[in-house]
Amino acid sequence: MSEALSDRVRAAIRDIPDFPKEGILFKDITPLLQNGPLFREVTEYFAQRCRDRKITKVVGIESRGFIFGAALAHELGVGLTLVRKPGKLPYESVGVSYDLEYGSDRVEMHVDGVDGEDRVVLVDDLLATGGTAGAAAKLIDRVGGRVVEALFVIELEFLRGRDRLGSLETHSLVRFE
């Protein structure tokens, strides 16, 4: 990875203290998205990682993963599938539940979103605890797809989300310790 790209992306991320609740330091990617050349460079960088991997589908995780996922799918010329929270998809869906520190959550996708022939890259803006990304990877596996790699713009290393993804190849542009 280009260290210069990582530095430019890091500089474009805005910290918002106490959002969405007190004690959280939110990493805001909207300045990156507002910078057309930088957004394009991130998309091209992700595409370059995928070009020789025979990717057939990009799966974007709700909600900011849709933004990067759509741009990447367009760049690669492949389809995009959305992984969403329960009850958000209009067609028949399949889902997987996963545990949180206090409770559980669930992600879903359309039954025809990925099939047994698909080689998938999973995309989101942020890797934190890894719960949602791990559940999305399990969901893709359950319907027969193969997750080749998970790509993130930001990784909060101190939350150890990569550990929750196990052996899944995982890459992030910017890491915060």
Catalytic positions: 64, 101
Cα–Cα distance, 176 to 77 (Å, whole number): 31
Cα–Cα distance, 59 to 169 (Å, whole number): 15
